[in-house]
Chains A and B, each alone.
Chain A
Amino acid sequence: MYVAVKGGERAIENAHAWLAEERRGDPSVDALSIEQIREQLSLAVNRVMAEGSLYDADLAALAIKQARGDLIEAIFLIRAYRTTLPRFGGSAPVDTGRMTCARRVSATFKDVPGGQILGPTFDYTHRLLDFKLAADGDVPDADTRSAEPTHVPHVTAFLNREGLIEDAPADDTPPPDLTREPLELPASRALRLQALARADEGFTLGMAYSTQRGYARNHAFVGELRIGSVPVEMDIPELGFAVEIGEIEVTECETVNQFKGSKTEPPQFTRGYGLVFGQTERKAISMALVDRALRWEELGEDNQGAPAQDAEFVLYHGDNIQATGFLEHIKLPHYVDFQSELELVRKLRREAGAPPVQEAAE
C-alpha cells in the first residue's frame, strides 16, 4: 500500500540552522576566509578542482568551507555548480611540453636533460609533526638560484628517439565528453582518461596499488612526473583565431612499462598517462598506472581478470559523486519500500513456520 506522507519541514529547517552553527564552530575562534582556504589548504582546493572537474580555486575554497572540510561534499557542490555554466567551447589541447615546471622528476634517468627539479614537495620530509606550525605562521623565504624560465622536453621523447618506447602520434579526433553523453562501453582511451582525471583519488590509488601488487602486473616506472603551469588557448569565433584565455597548474605523469611485444609490435616500452588539475601527484601517478592497465586489449595482453583491467568496473565505480549519491540515498526515507519488504518477510515466515503437520506428512 502506498501512503503519501508530508511533514518534516520544521525539522529540516532546524537541522540546517544547526548545521550552519556547527559549521561556524566556536564563535570565539576567528572564521576562516575563502582566501585562507585557497592559499593555505591549496592541496585540498586542488583535489576539489580536479574531481569537481572545474578549475576555479575560489569556488573550490568556498565549497570546502560550505562542506565543513568534507571534500566529497565539496566536490558535489562544484559538480552541481558546473552544470549551471554555459559552455563557451573547448580549448586547444594544452601543450605540456611548454609547461613552466615547478617540479619535474624522473625515476628512470638520473641525468635527464633539464635536470631533476624537486619543487615544493613532501618527499624527503621526515613526517614528524611540526609544532612550530601550531605556534606561528612565519616562514623564511625559499632559496632561489638565478634561472630563466624555460621549457624542458618530455623524458619519453628521449626513448622515442631510439624507438624503444611506443609513440603517441598527434591526432585530432574530437574527444567524446562524458559530461554531455552518458559513459558507454567500450570506452575509448580518451573517454577513459576523462573519467580517470575526475575519478576519486582514493579509488584510483587503490586500483593503481592493486596493479603494483600483482593484479594485472605491468611494472611501471615513473618516466616523468612534472607539475607546473600551462596556458589554455581557445578559438574565439568572434575573432577567428585562438587566444590564451587563462593559465592552469597541472600535474602530469608518464609511466614507462615493460612490454614483451606482440604479433604486430616489437618489444618496447609502453606508456601510461596521467594528467590532473592542480598539484595532485598521487592522483596523477595512480591515473597513469590505471590507464596502462586498462590498455591491455589494444596492446594484445592477456586479460588476467584483474579489477584494474576491467573498464566497466573502474569507470563505473571511480566517480565519487555517482557513488556517494547512490550509496547515501539509502539513508533517505524508504518507508513504503520497507513496508512491503516487511509484509513479504512476515508472509514467508508464516508460510515457513505454518503447518508442522505438512512436514510430518512428508
Chain B
Amino acid sequence: MGLLAKAPAARVTALLTEHPAFDWLRPPEVGSTMVRGRAGGTGAPFNLGEITVTRCALRLSCGAVGHAYVQGRDKAHAQAAALVDALMQTEAAPRIRDTVLDPLDREAQAKRRTRAAKAAATKVEFFTMVRGED
C-alpha cells in the first residue's frame, strides 16, 4: 500500500490494466492528514502541517475488499490503488505483483538511486592544507 501511495498517480493508473467490477464501500474522498515531527528529531511529537490525502474502499464481486490512502487529490489514483489492494487478495495476485507492484518498486528504487548518486557527487572531500608552523 505504501508503494502505491507514494507512486506517481499516472504510473499507477497506467500500469493497472485490469478493471474488474466492484462496489464502492467508500467512494473516493479528499481530505488531509496532520503530519507530525519530533522536537530534536527524537523527542516529543509536534504538528508540522498537513498533507492532502485521498482515500476509498471497494469490494470486488468475489468479495475481496481493497482500501487505499494515497497522497494527493487524485481520485483515480486512489481507485486504482484500492483495486490493486483487492486484487492482491485474489488469485490474480502474482500477475498484479508482476505487472504493477514490481515495476512501481523498480521505478521508485531507480529514482532513489539517481538522487543518491547526484547527492554523492556533491559530497565534499576535504584535503588539509600544509600548515605554516613547520
Contact = CB atoms under 8 A, between A and B. Distances in A.
A109 to B, nearest CB: 11
B119 A92 contact: no
Interface residues of B, number: 51
B41 A90 contact: no
Q: Which of A89, A172, A175 is packed against the most chain B CB atoms within 10 Å?
A: A175
Interface in A64-83: 82
A175 B36 contact: yes
Nearest to A105: B124
Interface in A159-193: 168-179, 189-191, 193
B50 A53 contact: yes
A90 B40 contact: no
Interface string A115-152: 11111110000000000000000000011111111100
B93 interface: no
B103 interface: no
A173 B112 contact: no
A168 B40 CA distance: 6
B77 to A, nearest CB: 11
A275 interface: yes
B45 A88 contact: no
B35 interface: yes
A245 B40 contact: no
A55 B1 contact: no
Given A143-B121, A243-B1, A243-B69, A87 B33 contact: yes
A146 B117 contact: yes
A47 interface: no
A191 B36 CA distance: 12
Contact of B48 (A59, A143, A168, A197): A197
A348 interface: no
Interface stretch (A11-19, A229-237, A306-314): A229-237
A97 B41 CA distance: 8
Contact of B52 (A54, A118, A142): A54
Interface in B36-62: 36-53, 55, 57
A243 B124 CA distance: 36
B88 interface: no
Interface residues on A, range: 35 or more
Given A100-B116, A232-B71, A248-B35, A197 B42 contact: no
Contacts of B44: 171-173, 175, 189-190
29 contacts: A54-B51, A82-B50, A88-B55, A90-B33, A97-B42, A119-B122, A145-B117, A149-B112, A168-B38, A168-B40, A168-B41, A170-B42, A170-B43, A172-B44, A172-B45, A173-B44, A175-B46, A176-B47, A189-B39, A197-B37, A197-B49, A243-B2, A244-B1, A245-B5, A245-B33, A246-B71, A246-B72, A254-B40, A277-B49
Interface of B: 1-2, 5-6, 29-53, 55, 57, 67, 69-73, 112-124, 126
Interface of A: 49-50, 53-56, 58-59, 82, 85-94, 96-97, 100-103, 110-111, 115-121, 142-150, 154, 156, 168-179, 189-191, 193-194, 197-198, 231-234, 236, 238-239, 243-248, 250, 252, 254, 271, 273, 275, 277
